[in-house]
Amino acid sequence: MIRISRKTFVLSIIGVFFIVVVFLGLGLFLISPAKKGAEKETFVVRKGMALREVATGLEKRELIRSKEFFLLWARFKGYGKHIKAGEYSLGAYMSPVEILEKLHRGIIITHPVTIPEGYTIAQIAQLLDDKGVVKKEVFLSLARDPAVLKRYGIPGPSLEGYLYPDTYRFGSGVSAEVVVDTMVRRFFQVVRPLKARMSELGLSMKQVITLASIVEKETSRPEERPTIASVFLNRLKRGMRLESDPTVIYGIKNFNGNLTRKDLARKTPYNTYAIRGLPPGPIANPGLESIRAVVYPAKTDYLYFVSKNDGSHHFSRTLAEHNRAVQIYQKRRKGRHPKTS
């Protein structure tokens, strides 16, 4: 029989007691908030920040009592390399377990950003810059990067037309790559159910989105879009020029807001008064209603329309009828082109 000395026995008891105390302390630490009744505050985890640095910051802000216990539990859970950068809404009223789980799951503060329908990539870039999401130059560079276009299978010089207008939520410090990817993926998610219909009509994705972008810019009234789309489709079938003012404007660098007859004579790839068929690509980023208007157009024999100066349009079948409508609805100004199609 093995005899255990009194000293060894006592040391063993002390060791066991110490371990029990440590585990009890750790358990108490993990479930106990640093301060009861404390308010929420923003805690920032910078990109590339080490776990120890995060724990030190939490301790300094008095969001946790012990960074060592926090680190011990994080390593036990295997969370050492899985803290997502961003802004977090934390509070000393939260237990360390709750704080660690929130950090590990990456539940960061996000900010809503609404991209209006019909915005161009330049307008989107400026909006994102103004909101502090990403820098305009970085976004535009990415939106025109041939490697990015190839990755998504998008034909054309840029992502114009394929950045879906919607309300998004982005965290602080989000990369331009993530923003672009989110918007393009949303676009394909929205148009996927319409791809079969595009094939039925014999139209490519690019043709549909290009025409939808023109429809988007021509009218702000949803109920008119299928009719506007029918006019352009009818003109295309007859080999007529689209003669759409928004396409001309898109092709003018630094447009001053005044479309003149001189502008209509400018030779640009987007001047549909000069070219036949569709322009080289979309002129804006259309919403779903404009896209649906192209694949489900109204059944009409209209070939022309003119603004009635109240946001709506008058539609005509013949040039003579159209010219009469122009005289009625458009007050001619010297050197200014009346908005007609």
Predicted model pTM: 0.80
pLDDT at position 287: 98
- The set of residues, in sequence order, having a beta carbon less than 8 Å from that of 88 and lying 6+ positions away, is 42, 43, 44, 45, 102, 103, 107, 108, 109
Q: Does residue 337 have a pLDDT over 50?
A: no
- Give which of 187, 168, 147, 142 is closest to 282, Cα–Cα: 187
pLDDT at position 133: 94
Compute the Cα dihedral for 302, 303, 309, 310 and give only its sign. Answer: positive
The structure tokens 């802000």 sit at 61
User: Residue ranges of the domains in the chain?
Assistant: 32-105, 110-191, 198-329
Q: Tens digits of per-residue pLDDT, 29-38?
A: 455 555 665 6
DSSP bridge pairs for 307: 313
Question: To which H or E segment does residue 45 belong?
Answer: strand 40-45
Mean local confidence (pLDDT), 253-263:
85
- Give which of 228, 141, 234, 132 is closest to 174, Cα–Cα: 132
Confidence tier at 76 by pLDDT (50, 70, 90) = confident
Cβ atoms of residues 162 and 209 within 8 Å: yes
CA trace torsion 140, 144, 147, 148 (10° rounding): 60
Distance CA 22, CA 69 (A): 10
Cβ atoms of residues 308 and 301 within 8 Å: no
CATH number for domain 110-191, candidates 3.30.1490, 3.10.350, 2.60.40, 3.40.50? 3.30.1490
CATH architecture assignment, domain 32-105: 2-Layer Sandwich (3.30)
Q: Which of 59-68, 91-100, 208-217 has the highest mean pLDDT?
A: 208-217
Average pLDDT score, the chain: 87
Cβ atoms of residues 206 and 152 within 8 Å: no
pLDDT at position 214: 98
Q: Does residue 182 have a pLDDT over 90?
A: yes
- The set of residues, in sequence order, having a beta carbon less than 8 Å from that of 156 and lying 6+ positions away, is 149, 206, 280, 281, 282
pLDDT at position 338: 47
